[in-house]
Amino acid sequence: MRTAFFLFVCIICHAGAVFAESFNFKASEQYIVKGEAIDFTFTYDPYDDYIPEQLTIEFNYQDDHTIEHTVSFDDMDKTGIETSYTMVFDQAGYFDCRPTFRITRVDENGKMHRVTKQLECIRIGVANWKFTAGDSLGCIESTPALSPDGATVYVGSEDQHLYAVNTEDGTEVWRFPTSGPVNSSPAVDSSGNIFFGSEDGTVYCVTPGGNLTWSHGTGDSIYSSPALDQDQNRLYIGSADSCLYALDSETGERFWKFKTGSKIVSSPVIGNDKTIYIGSLDHCLYAIAPDGKERWKFEAASEILNSPALDSDGTLFFGTASFRGGVNDNNGLYALSSIGKEGKGIQKWFVKHASGFPGTPVIDSAGSVCVGSNDNNLYGINRNGGQLIMYRKFSNDLLASPAIGSNDYIFAGARDGIFCGLDLFKGDERYGRKEYWKYDLSLPVTTSSPVINNGYLYVGTCGYSKGALFSLFCDIKIEKTETSPSEDSPWPQFRNLSDNAGITKFRSDTIAPEIVITDPEKDAADFDINRRSISVTFSKKMEKTSIFKPATDDEEAYYGFSIEPIDSPPEEFDITWHNNDTVCEITLPENESFKPYVEYTASILSKAYAANMPEESNRSILYNGTWTFNTVEEQEPEYNYSPGSGCFLSLFFGL
């Protein structure tokens, strides 16, 4: 049954009264926890010397046409009344209290008149529960993780414990002690085992009952969160000793460790081909094979504090931010190809943002990358790059990741303690996305990112060495209790799914193709007009007709690869394929040539799709591939002549 809160006020008046009374009400709180009470204060000021015989306030809480409570007042004087009513909210949700009051009078002819007025709405946010664990719970900077059955939520605390909390009522199930703060976010496997790190330098595996299975020491504190590859029984986790560790998830035995150039506070993620990606304070993002060997690395312009998010074509999105805060002109948001080339990561685009992005990006169902910033704003940007769009402005930093729900809402909290839900597809660029609820947690949200499960989200807070874990109802409509991480998003939360395993849900046979290399490169400024063709390299074998298909009697032609400005129609271009149909080359018609000092735009339409892939897979490239390049004047051949080599003569005479 949909729950709502309505207030009806009926006033029985003297004959001949005029509607000019003042009636107001307010709530003692707007944000409470289920089971707590609110005092509603009602104030009535009569008109001149008119005094009603009776004032009645009626409460209809369940929207079932039953009056749960009635308060009546008789024998009022000229000063009016002020009274309070205490209500206990026994259900989590977001309740609109919009009072309506009516004045009824009888005129000289005995005819009854009624005037109705509706006051401003007061919204009451009721959290499902708040877990504080008495005096022992410290700041929560760890992101919660859910058990496989959703009955238990696990979270680390700076009081040196991992907590297991009942998701139904917020009561403590058990706590596991370590010798250091637990800011690492736990990960949970399909059997319910919990894996996490501590600042005591140890990785722990704990059973669903809270008993230690194994532990493994590293050389320094652990802020990183583990990634789990259950197919290979592997656990990957970073350490402040600058190393990424690969452990056996069943025994804790170390397979290998990989050394980076500085401390690791980022958490690893696992790609569709089992490659492990992790950032370091040495400014580098690393791609590491399951055997511990480096596949490639990419050097960013600033420190990497967060984990990358993986798109459905393998694109990696991550931000950079100054380790100790502050503005740095080198900070920004990166998009990299997961393919790599000659030991180096391939940058797709970079958006500079001096305030930096300390949290992990997420990806919404429409393909926008969403990320919070140290400038107090939540931003979105198209996965193909472009301009940052402000989604919401807070009054303090956003250090944690947002989360995308299955109802196309995005949830985010900031250090000002405000946590809100926004509609991803409503709003504008000036005022941001439409807010459909918010909750004042009264404690800062720092690095604890929200996790969604079964209609509720869980998030930790931290302030003055005290913290709390909250359970909040996701949707304003009470009957919608199945909100989950968006299945249409390839990476909806900090660690992807609610188990915090940090692994993509795409396999190599379902991952979308991507544009790996363009020739000329994007924004090339020295393209030689003597050239006749350009090319693009895809990550997979492509279906040729999705790029170029001549017209037939039954079907229109399709031209998915174009160059502008070129006057000739697309059918006069020559398209050839190389390297097992992964490289597509387009050549100008005989009567065309590139002109000097012109900016050209090349495009691959998103209808281009991979060959030999299942229909239900991500067959098409995710967006139109568009890039520009500039030509220069005709270039002289480079002969590389050196005296006495004979090379100069051989070029002309074939010697």
Rounded Cα gap, residues 537 and 318, in angstroms: 24
Confidence label for 396 from pLDDT (cuts 50, 70 and 90) = very high
User: What b/e string do you get for 568-607 counting C-beta neighbours within 10 Å, with b at 16 or more?
Assistant: eebeebebebeeebbbbbbebbeeeebeeeeebebbbbee
Distance of alpha carbon 159 from alpha carbon 462, whole angstroms: 12
Compute CA distances 113 → 110, 116, 569, 609, whole Å.
10, 10, 76, 70
| Beta strands 194-197; 187-188: pairing state | antiparallel
Average pLDDT over residues 322-341: 90
pLDDT range class, residue 636, cuts 50, 70, 90: low
CB neighbourhood size of 301 (10 A): 14
H/E run at residue 652: helix 647-653
- Predicted pLDDT at 98: 67
Confidence grade of residue 544 (pLDDT, cut at 50, 70, 90): very high
Residues 268, 247: Cα–Cα separation, whole Å: 13
User: What pLDDT score does 569 carry?
Assistant: 86
Lowest-pLDDT choice from 82-86, 396-400, 517-521: 82-86
| All residues at 6 or more sequence positions from 484 whose CB lies less than 8 Å from its CB, including other chains | 405, 406, 452, 453, 454, 498
In order of 15, 82, 165, 528, the CA distances from 255 in angstroms are: 90, 72, 33, 50
Check whether 237 has a pLDDT greater than 60. yes
Decide if pLDDT at 1 tops 50. Answer: no
Q: Which residue has the tokens 């003569």?
A: 649
Q: Count other C-beta atoms under 10 Å from residue 73's C-beta.
A: 17
- How high is the pLDDT of residue 407? 83
- Tens of pLDDT, residue by residue over 545-587, are 999 988 887 888 889 999 999 988 888 999 999 999 999 999 9
R_g (Cα) of the chain, nearest Å: 31
Separation of alpha carbons 186 and 205, rounded Å: 10
**DSSP code for 251:** T
Mean pLDDT across the stretch 436-457? 94
Query: Which pLDDT band holds residue 72 (cuts at 50, 70, 90)?
Result: low
Please state, in angstroms and rounded to a whole number, the distance separating the CA atoms of residues 167 and 605: 46
- Distance from C-alpha of 30 to C-alpha of 108, rounded to nearest angstrom: 44
**E runs forming strands in 46-171:** 54-60, 69-74, 81-88, 93-106, 112-118, 122-127, 129-131, 145-146, 152-156, 161-166
DSSP string across 23-64: EEEEES-SEEETT-EEEEEEEEE-STT---SEEEEEEESSSS
| All domains of the chain in start order, with CATH | 5-127 (2.60.40), 129-473 (2.130.10.10), 515-631 (2.60.40.1220)
State yes or no: cis peptide before 520, omega within 30 of 0. Answer: yes
Q: Which residue's entry shows tokens 């394929």? A: 577
Q: Is the pLDDT of residue 55 over 60?
A: no
Predicted confidence at residue 83, as pLDDT, reads: 73
pTM for the whole thing? 0.88
Overall residue count recorded for the chain in this entry: 655
* Two tokens, residue 380: 């979105």
What H or E segment, with its residue span, contains residue 389? Answer: strand 389-393
**What per-residue confidence (pLDDT) applies to 106?**
58
For residue 75, pLDDT over 90 is answered with no
Distance CA 152, CA 147 (A): 5
405: phi then psi, degrees, rounded to nearest 5: -95, 165
Please tell me the distance from the alpha carbon of residue 151 to that of residue 129, in angstroms, as a whole number. 14
- Mean pLDDT over the full length of the chain: 86
Average pLDDT over residues 20-42: 85
Q: What is the C-alpha separation between 641 and 650, in angstroms, rounded?
A: 10
Report the distance separating Cα 408 and Cα 367, nearest Å: 12
Write down the pLDDT at residue 369: 97
Average pLDDT over residues 324-333: 88
